Amino acid sequence: MLTIDPKELPIPALQAYLSHAVAPRPVAFVSTIDKKGNPNLSPFSFFNLFSTSPPVAVFSPARSGRTGAVKHTHENILEVPEAVINVVTYDMVQQTSLSSTEYAKGVNEFEKAGFTMLASEAIKPPRVKESPIQMECKVKQVIELGQNPGAGNLVICEIVLIHISEAVMNEKKFIDQNKLDLVGRLGANWYVRASGNALFEVTKPSFPHGIGVNSIPEKIRNSTVLTGNNLGQLGNVHQLPAREDVLAYKTQHLKNVSGEKELHTIAKKLLDEGRVEEGWKTLLSNEE
């Protein structure tokens, strides 16, 4: 295993390792204005949600890794402490990337990237009309992490208004993750599309608590067929199926199945489909 001391690497190399390792990252497409009212638009993948009550998001317009210069977004926020965080969808990603060009101060990236300015309701900076979710924010604090090239500047934003397009909602008026079709940032030129087969659900830990992987019978735990993910699923149940239920399942579904490896293969398929109880019954049928 390669072990790296961050202090011994040039900034570009360290950036490459970190941006590949800490990924995918959501993208904050941030619109700001300066004290003269000139708009700026730029994407930042050093970004996430950090609080619900109050609703707080944080993004970081880091200093240039080459020159140490601060971003125009950072300068604008110090002059007018407000910002809109617009989400980035697959249909917007190429234009969004174009807006990250280091244009001269005062150049309108809305125009350069071909986006439409939409007036905000509670703050001065405009929203991106093409973005299906726009969050109007008041900047609470800016924490400068250093003066050297690559140093981040944490912009702590309280979300005061959220605008959501009906087009990305389901019938219950909640966001449909597939309809939203977000993108995430990886390392180098790579992105990921958060829709279709890329989406999957993971059941939250069982309440009051799961039995844990250490409570799975050793023959199952040491299976050469089941994966670590499968063991995590098995360990998330709070109790095992009753013996009579296992016998009934074996009689109905596993009459002609024998051999541990075959049972484990069947159980793995069930687990991969999210059918955990049936997976457990299959695995335990070997004991009956």
Six-digit token string for 247: 């016998």
pLDDT at 182: 98
CA 229 to chain centre: 19
Q: Which domains does the chain have, with CATH numbers?
A: 6-198 (2.30.110.10), 213-287 (no CATH)
Residue 49, token pair as written in the block: 């949600």
Element (H, E) at 282: helix 276-284
Amino acid at 268: K
237 by DSSP, 3-state: which? coil
CA proximity to 250, closest of 218, 286, 220, 276: 286
Provide the pLDDT for residue 28: 98
pLDDT at 186: 97
Mean pLDDT in order along the chain per 10 residues (288 residues): 95 94 97 97 97 98 87 97 98 96 93 97 98 98 94 97 97 95 96 94 86 94 96 95 94 88 96 95 86
pTM: 0.90
Quote the CA–CA distance of 241 and 257 in Å, as a whole number: 19
| Residue 59 contacts residue 85 (beta carbons within 8 Å) | yes
Supply 19's token pair. Answer: 């941006």
